[in-house]
Amino acid sequence: GAGVSQSPRYKVAKRGQDVALRCDPISGHVSLFWYQQALGQGPEFLTYFQNEAQLDKSGLPSDRFFAERPEGSVSTLKIQRTQQEDSAVYLCASSLLPTAGPQHFGDGTRLSIL
Amino acid sequence: KQEVTQIPAALSVPEGENLVLNCSFTDSAIYNLQWFRQDPGKGLTSLLLIQSSQREQTSGRLNASLDKSSGRSTLYIAASQPGDSATYLCAVRNYGGSQGNLIFGKGTKLSVKP
């Protein structure tokens, strides 16, 4: 069965480059979340979409981070002018209902900034 | 601000033992609590979700309890197996605020020795 799919699985970029991370949620899932997981830590919330609307972006660490979900399905997290502290695993999760039920996670994108 | 703590940070047990993982949270106004498993280099697999009105949930050898008033949850694993080795994460979802983002603990890294 199709789960949450993220690409690429691994991304290496030089400091200052822009990167784009993609998330394909489970078909029909209304809610989509992005999380950032540093090594040895639990995931931390970045931003939340309900269909195409970005309802919460309070977790984005700076204005270099931008996320979109223009058609209410696939989402892209973009990081501009990357810095070393952006190195982390970026996880995407989706859930069927806006405010209830379990969140289903993808395998994440491991981003390394050199 | 909600904070989630997991104790112990790491645990090593021989195969066959029953074990308990602990999770505590500072704000009892939660919507639900979810336990996840994370294997190295992988995303999160949902194990159990307990709604705030529930006291426990069971799935196979796993049993999760919730005491909302005291801000605690436990994950009980019966007859542990080497395949249970992974990091176990606890996450809560608050009422209000963002519609559904999870707040995670740092996890307990479990190693089950054959």
Mean pLDDT of B55-62: 96
CB contact under 8 A, B101 and A43: no
Could you tell me which residue, B97 or B100, shows the higher pLDDT?
A: B100
Mean pLDDT of A38-65: 93
**Position B101 confidence tier, pLDDT thresholds 50, 70, 90:** confident
- Using CB atoms, which residue from B41, B98, B107 is nearest to A42? B107
Q: Model confidence over B5-34: pLDDT tens digits?
A: 999 999 999 999 999 999 999 999 898 999
What SS3 class is residue A16? coil
Could you tell me which residue, B94 or A37, shows the higher pLDDT?
A: A37
Size of interface A-B (CB pairs under 8 A): 72
CB contact under 8 A, A107 and B31: no
**Position A75 confidence tier, pLDDT thresholds 50, 70, 90:** very high
Interface residue B81 vs chain A (CB under 8 A)? no
- pLDDT over threshold 70, residue B98: no
Whether the bond between A43 and the residue before it is cis, its omega within 30 degrees of 0, is no
Q: Which chain A residues are closer than 8 Å to B106 by Cβ?
A: 40-42
Closest CA to A35 of A88, A99, A80, A85: A88
Report the pLDDT value the prediction gives residue B96, as an integer from 0 to 100.
62
**Position A63 confidence tier, pLDDT thresholds 50, 70, 90:** very high
Given its phi and psi angles, is residue B102 left (phi above 0), alpha (psi -120 to 50 degrees) or beta? beta
Report the pLDDT value the prediction gives residue B94, as an integer from 0 to 100.
81
Report the pLDDT value the prediction gives residue B63, as an integer from 0 to 100.
98
**Nearest residue in B to A110, CA atom:** B41
Could you tell me which residue, B1 or A82, shows the higher pLDDT?
A: A82
Report the pLDDT value the prediction gives residue B97, as an integer from 0 to 100.
56
Report the pLDDT value the prediction gives residue A85, as an integer from 0 to 100.
96
Interface residue B76 vs chain A (CB under 8 A)? no
Q: What is the DSSP string of B82-111?
A: GGG-EEEEEEEEESSSSSS-EEE---EEEE
- pLDDT over threshold 60, residue B113: yes
- pLDDT over threshold 80, residue A90: yes
Interface residue A8 vs chain B (CB under 8 A)? no
Interface residue A104 vs chain B (CB under 8 A)? yes
Interface residue B11 vs chain A (CB under 8 A)? no
Q: Model confidence over A94-114: pLDDT tens digits?
A: 999 876 678 899 999 999 999
Nearest C-alpha of chain A: how many angstroms from B69?
A: 21
Interface residue A59 vs chain B (CB under 8 A)? yes
Number of other CB atoms surrounding residue B20 within 10 Å: 11
What would you report as the CA-atom Rg of chain A, rounded to the nearest whole angstrom? 13
Mean pLDDT of A25-36: 94
